[in-house]
Chain A
Amino acid sequence: GNSVTQMEGPVTLSEEAFLTINCTYTATGYPSLFWYVQYPGEGLQLLLKATKADDKGSNKGFEATYRKETTSFHLEKGSVQVSDSAVYFCALSDFQGAQKLVFGQGTRLTINP
């Protein structure tokens, strides 16, 4: 079945550091790929998405590129801020049927000033 593997956390960085959170997936067909973020005390929010190979999703300075050859969707940001502290989830969904999301285990990110 479909699955998503994220780099284990927690990750702690200083403000303005470069961020990479690795995500790889296993899927049949051509899934859509997502990064969701969960800020403290809030619900899951979509951060960015990509629906086909080589697409780049971007939002709030974060980027991720759908790499079919390496089955990866790594999240990157050039200069993190304290406000980026949250739990980040990589996920995939099938294009057909229920389009349910399959999530990775999440990566807790803490940014220190």
Chain B
Amino acid sequence: DTGVSQNPRHKITKRGQNVTFRCDPISEHNRLYWYRQTLGQGPEFLTYFQNEAQLEKSRLLSDRFSAERPKGSFSTLEIQRTEQGDSAMYLCASSPRRGEAFFGQGTRLTVV
């Protein structure tokens, strides 16, 4: 399977804990995006990488959130000191230089 892969698929954590999600994009895609989707809403943009450079971040991305894409390959999204409001589906997408975005199946985070 050469699609976008996200791990884990589900994560339950206690409030205040840190969590990290991983995204493996389609290998030849240089653009990578993170989105967050809450129940009944469309996905909202969080951040964008072109190769290893993080070029844009949404105001939604508080300082508890950090994302990396070392060597322009896989990406990680870390949330520190999780809050119940962080409960959502976190989606990763990748795309070639100009073209459609391909989405992974997402990581569903539940903060209890």
Contact = CB atoms under 8 A, between A and B. Distances in A.
Contacts of B4: 43
Contacts, number: 51
Nearest to B100: A46
A105 B41 contact: yes
A43 B105 contact: yes
A46 B101 contact: yes
Contact of B101 (A4, A42, A101, A106): A101
Interface stretch (B12-20, B43-51, B71-79): B43-51
Interface residues of A, number: 21
Interface residues of B, number: 24
A99 B91 contact: no
Contacts of A45: 103
17 contacts: A43-B106, A45-B103, A46-B100, A46-B101, A49-B100, A97-B56, A98-B48, A98-B56, A99-B31, A99-B95, A100-B33, A100-B45, A100-B48, A101-B33, A101-B93, A103-B44, A104-B42
- Closest 8 pairs (CB-CB, A-B): A103-B42, A44-B103, A43-B105, A98-B48, A100-B45, A98-B56, A43-B103, A46-B100
